[in-house]
Amino acid sequence: MSESIGVIEPTEADVDLARQSHNRVMRAVDDPAQRLWITAQSFGKVELPHSVLGAIAAILRELAAGHTVSLQTVDDEELSTTAAAAILGMSRPTLINLLDAGEIPFRWVGSHRRITRAAVLAHQARTADGRSGPLRSRADRLADLEEMADTTHRLGLGY
């Protein structure tokens, strides 16, 4: 069962600060030597694990875009193939192929496949490294299309 930890609805000030912070945090994500500290007047300076940098970067990216963010714990909640496919942004038959190929673990409940939310999110994290297909943001996909159109125009290839 998953448990909602909190919802962050960004103000304009939050959006601006998230935009400024996101790029700086992203530079630290791929460098395990980087250390993350939070400082507050009430409790001083506290070091956080490096493993949370990616989550913080993702939160900042969404806040910078003005999106509301919800944090959730992931336990052993089981999903139907339809729900898992929706999370992954793919068709159910494509998900079934991945399950049958052993790329995502699942179990049978009668004649139905059940996948843990943790397994779905782990697959999403593994495949998101290349940022292909539906895992990429709409803005990134549109930017790529604009770049392709510019290149086509510059080379005189037409449509």
H-type helices in 101-137, by residue range?
117-128
For residue 7, give the 3-state DSSP assignment.
Answer: strand
What is the 8-class DSSP label of residue 9?
A: -
Each residue's pLDDT tens digit, 44-87 = 899 888 888 888 989 999 999 999 998 877 767 899 999 999 99
Average pLDDT over residues 38-44: 87
Q: Say which residue the tokens 């999370």 belong to.
A: 87
List the one residue out of 154, 146, 90, 147 whose CA is nearest residue 120: 90
Tokens of 71: 């944090």
User: 29-33, 56-60, 127-131: which has the highest mean pLDDT?
Assistant: 56-60
What is the 8-class DSSP label of residue 103?
A: S
What kind and span of H or E run contains 11?
A: none
Burial of 60 (0-12, 13-18, 19+ CB in 10 A): buried
Mean pLDDT of the chain: 85
pLDDT surpasses 50 at 133:
no
d(C-alpha 28, C-alpha 96), whole Å: 36
Total count of residues recorded for the chain: 159
pLDDT surpasses 90 at 11:
yes
What kind and span of H or E run contains 44?
A: strand 44-48
Q: What percent of the chain has pLDDT over 90?
A: 43
